[in-house]
């Protein structure tokens, strides 16, 4: 009997979390081996490791407690990786040497697999005077470009790109440039962006007052607060960034407000952290804890929840001592405060099992009840650890009890902390759980609603073929097993059908008892009005949220993957589909199978002469006409230089295979142009090209612009109408850069592939 509830769960475990030799030979022969490895590693710091190993195993068993991916993949492997998921780096000095010292620290952190956050508000604005040199400052965005380039060159542990968050205060003179940075789709691709919004700014917005943009005491501009707010809103309405972080609320609610100031978060926003702050993450799987699901009296037993939370807190506290850290400052910060981020996943599924409609007042009340119980149990477990192992080194009872979330905590918990201290300064956070939720049997992710009841994914087999399999939500499968294939009750709702304010209600209910923050996406319909869209953010502010992230599908962000309960299969005899373009321009065509090659194709051949190379490279790009529009079909890359033979053949085959699948293939250009050669690039026609592969990407981009497929250099598709696939009624998501499936969707503030679990945020 397998422990996995679905085939995709076992596949995710094998790809992401299974411990293997360097050659791919499995060391973990079963998921029980993985649980044992993690339990043993985290029990090693205990005085009685054998006793705690068994208890930790019992918490991990059957996916009840889910440590975050870094812990699940790295604990007990003896590999030089960090078990911490997220870091906020040190304050960036406003000097050239200080800035590049920070860049080095970021590279070292990302090399070990950590996502990082930075506040770029400390860098003087563009055009400001620089003392001692005859030049003006280039501004924070120019240095963000440098960070972005660095991130492209570093692969995080587990072959995952590092993720970065950049924040900027709403009163920085360059904030308007920051807001509009993502209008260029090729810029800052490795960053998530968020504006740090203050309470005085929000009051000025409501009062339609003026707002000073200033740096180091000097006012550079004065604008209308409402105009600046509208610019933030219009940017995220159009291309989903920047996010909004209510920074004053974060600092006021911080248990450590007496010793630290926060100005940045980790990449997905659930961990506001001080300079060199680090946090580890883990989730209680509520979907596995409901007794008598779908029956009268269904509930999560409080004693069962309390016991699991206590074990999870102890395991996470042990990670602080068991983990490597990229930098000594991060180790010191973590051990001085012993922050942990225990959250939940499977919330929506658990609500369904109790007959509650996600987004309703009743569901919000139940969510608040569960999370208060988890908060109480977490704090009391940390008190017990303090009795045994000591409080966190910077604990001050009176200051701690007068800070942040402690002001609303129950009297018995406050008294216990006053008497015995507490081991961990902060304990709760709700992180993105997309991949670990798939691993746990496709439970609903974090506190998000069910994204899709069921969908079909294509799975790559060892012989190169693809098979189709249905992926069913955990609660839906449980319903089917219990009642058969009957119509789902009306309280089964999903992310696409919910009203945006229902999302906000759930986020606000959860935030009340979360001492850090929450990673959550508020899905908005494409046709929501701009005024309606703005009201979502204002409601989030007024109801106590610490931040707000929305996703509105459109031509820039792409359609959200949407599927029905019973998805029709594409007929085998229908290998391709043509969509009509609205207003002309590029055509986005999605193929269920690769197109066959016609007898003849139109194309162009380009000569690429790379400096210091004896032989030129010749690129032939052939196009196909689909729906009256021209799109790339294949590439041939040739050179007389035999040193180039293997990689040019490989590149020819790979790019051609991608082109023949259809869809938005502009990412091929973006990925090639992002390749940096550590030996150095070259200047070609007055422009620095970082590698020969980047030069090839530039040639392909030039061709796609000339044929009308791309809007222009560094830009996306000329037009991106909603695609419709023959035999499938639902629009598809964007193509995944990892597996190629059209399954990218916005979940918990991050573009995530539902087929392979690939996530932009690492």
| Among 192, 254, 255, 266, the one annotated catalytic | 266
Angle at the Cα of 74 (from 72 to 80), degrees rounded to 5? 165
Other C-beta atoms lying within 10 Å of the C-beta of residue 670: 17
Give residue 615's pLDDT: 79
Are 537 and 548 in contact, with CB atoms under 8 Å apart? yes
Return the axis-axis angle of helices 302-322 and 49-60, rounded to nearest 10°: 120
Distance CA 733, CA 575 (A): 19
Strands of the sheet with 602-608, listed across from one edge: 602-608, 617-626, 629-639
Q: Per DSSP, what are the bridge partners of residue 215?
A: 218
| Among 53, 241, 270, 634, the one annotated catalytic | 270
Residue 753: active-site member? no
Spans of the chain below 70 pLDDT: 1, 133-134, 154-162, 459-466, 555-596, 627-628, 678, 714-743, 745, 747-750, 754-762
Give residue 306's pLDDT: 98
Distance CA 243, CA 247 (A): 12
What's the 3-state SS for 544-612?
A: CCCEECEECCECCCECCCCCCCCCCCCCCCCCCCCCCCCCCCCCCCECCCCCCCCCCCEEEEEEECCCC
Distance CA 131, CA 740 (A): 50
Are 283 and 344 in contact, with CB atoms under 8 Å apart? yes
Give residue 648's pLDDT: 85
Give residue 22's pLDDT: 83
**What is the Cα gyration radius of the chain?**
26
Give residue 174's pLDDT: 97
Residue 270: active-site member? yes
Concatenated DSSP letters of 699-728? HHHHHHHHTTSBSSTT--BS--PPP-BTTB
| 482-510 pLDDT per residue, tens | 999 889 999 999 887 899 999 999 999 99
Burial 155-167 (b: 16+ CB within 10 A, else e): ebbbebbbbbbbb
Going by C-alpha positions, the residue among 328, 419, 426 that lies closest to residue 82 is 328
| Among 268, 545, 750, 756, the one annotated catalytic | 268
Q: 242: cis peptide before it, omega within 30°?
A: yes
Give residue 505's pLDDT: 98
Residue 639: its H or E element: strand 629-639
Residue 278: its H or E element: strand 278-279
Going by C-alpha positions, the residue among 269, 314, 273, 370 that lies closest to residue 67 is 314
Distance CA 307, CA 302 (A): 9
Residue 756: active-site member? no
Give residue 562's pLDDT: 41
């Amino acid at each position: 009997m397998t422990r996995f509830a679905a085939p995709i769960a076992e596949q995710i475990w094998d790809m992401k979390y299974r411990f293997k030799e360097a050659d791919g030979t499995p060391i973990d022969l079963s998921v029980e081996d993985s649980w044992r490895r993690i339990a043993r590693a985290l029990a090693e710091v205990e005085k009685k490791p054998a006793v705690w190993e068994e208890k930790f195993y019992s918490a991990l068993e059957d996916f009840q407690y889910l440590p975050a991916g870094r812990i699940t993949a790295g604990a007990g492997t003896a590999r030089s990786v960090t078990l911490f998921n997220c870091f906020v780096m040190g304050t960036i000095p406003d000097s050239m040497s200080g800035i590049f010292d920070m860049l080095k620290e970021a590279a070292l952190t990302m090399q070990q697999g950590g996502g990082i956050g930075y506040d770029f508000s400390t860098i003087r604005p563009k055009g400001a005077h620089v003392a001692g040199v005859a030049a003006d400052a280039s501004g924070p965005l120019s240095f963000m470009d440098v960070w972005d380039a660095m991130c492209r060159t570093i692969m995080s542990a587990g072959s995952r790109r590092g993720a970065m968050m950049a924040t900027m205060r709403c009163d920085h003179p360059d904030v308007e440039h920051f807001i509009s940075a993502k209008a260029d789709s090729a810029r800052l691709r490795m960053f998530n962006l968020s504006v740090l919004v203050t309470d005085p700014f929000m009051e000025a917005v409501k009062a339609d007052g003026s707002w000073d943009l200033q740096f180091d005491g000097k006012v550079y501009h004065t604008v209308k607060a409402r105009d600046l707010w509208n610019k933030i809103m219009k940017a995220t309405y159009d291309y989903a960034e920047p996010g909004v972080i209510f920074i004053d609320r974060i600092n006021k609610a911080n248990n450590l407000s007496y010793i630290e100031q926060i100005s940045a978060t980790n990449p997905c926003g659930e961990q506001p952290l001080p300079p060199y702050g680090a946090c580890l993450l883990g989730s209680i799987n509520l979907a596995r804890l409901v007794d008598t699901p779908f029956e009268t009296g269904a509930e999560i037993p409080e004693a069962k929840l309390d016991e699991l939370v206590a074990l999870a807190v102890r395991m996470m506290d042990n990670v602080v001592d068991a983990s490597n850290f990229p930098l000594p400052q991060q180790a010191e910060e973590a051990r001085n405060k012993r922050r942990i981020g225990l959250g939940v996943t499977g919330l929506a599924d658990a609500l369904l099992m109790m007959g509650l409609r996600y987004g309703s007042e009743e569901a919000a009340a139940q969510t608040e009840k569960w999370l208060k119980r988890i908060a109480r149990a977490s704090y009391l477990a940390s008190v017990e650890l303090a009795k045994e192992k000591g409080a966190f080194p910077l604990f001050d009872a009176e200051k701690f009890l007068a800070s942040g979330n402690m002001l609303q905590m129950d009297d018995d918990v406050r008294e216990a902390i006053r008497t015995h201290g507490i081991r961990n300064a902060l304990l709760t956070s709700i992180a993105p759980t997309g991949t670990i939720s798939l691993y746990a049997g496709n439970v609903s992710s974090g506190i998000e609603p069910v994204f899709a009841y069921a969908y079909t994914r294509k799975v790559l087999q060892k012989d190169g073929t693809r098979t189709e399999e249905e992926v069913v939500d955990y609660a839906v499968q449980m319903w089917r097993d219990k009642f058969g294939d009957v119509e789902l009750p009306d309280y089964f709702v999903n992310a696409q059908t919910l009203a945006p304010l229902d999302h906000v209600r759930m986020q606000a209910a959860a935030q009340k008892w979360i001492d850090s923050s929450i990673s959550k996406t508020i899905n908005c319909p494409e046709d929501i009005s701009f005024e309606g869209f703005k009201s979502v953010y204002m409601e989030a502010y007024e109801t106590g949220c610490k931040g707000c992230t929305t996703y509105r599908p459109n031509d820039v962000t792409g359609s959200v993957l949407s599927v029905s309960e019973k998805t029709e299969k594409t007929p085998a005899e229908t290998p391709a589909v043509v969509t009509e373009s609205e207003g002309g321009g590029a055509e986005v065509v999605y193929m269920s199978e690769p197109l066959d090659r016609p007898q003849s194709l139109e194309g162009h051949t380009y000569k690429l002469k790379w400096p210091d190379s004896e032989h030129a490279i010749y690129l032939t790009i052939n196009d196909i006409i689909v729906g009256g529009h021209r799109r790339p079909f294949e590439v041939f890359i040739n050179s007389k230089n035999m040193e180039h033979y293997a990689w040019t053949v490989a590149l020819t085959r790979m790019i051609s295979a991608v082109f023949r699948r259809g869809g938005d293939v502009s990412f091929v250009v973006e990925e090639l142009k992002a390749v940096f050669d550590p030996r150095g690039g070259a200047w070609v026609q007055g422009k620095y090209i970082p590698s020969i592969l980047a030069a090839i990407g530039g040639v392909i981009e030039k061709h796609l612009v000339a044929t009308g497929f791309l809007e222009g250099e560094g830009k996306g598709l000329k037009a991106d109408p909603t695609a419709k696939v023959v035999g499938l009624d639902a629009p598809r998501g964007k193509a995944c850069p990892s597996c190629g499936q059209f399954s990218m969707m916005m979940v918990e503030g991050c573009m995530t592939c539902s087929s392979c679990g690939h996530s932009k945020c690492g």
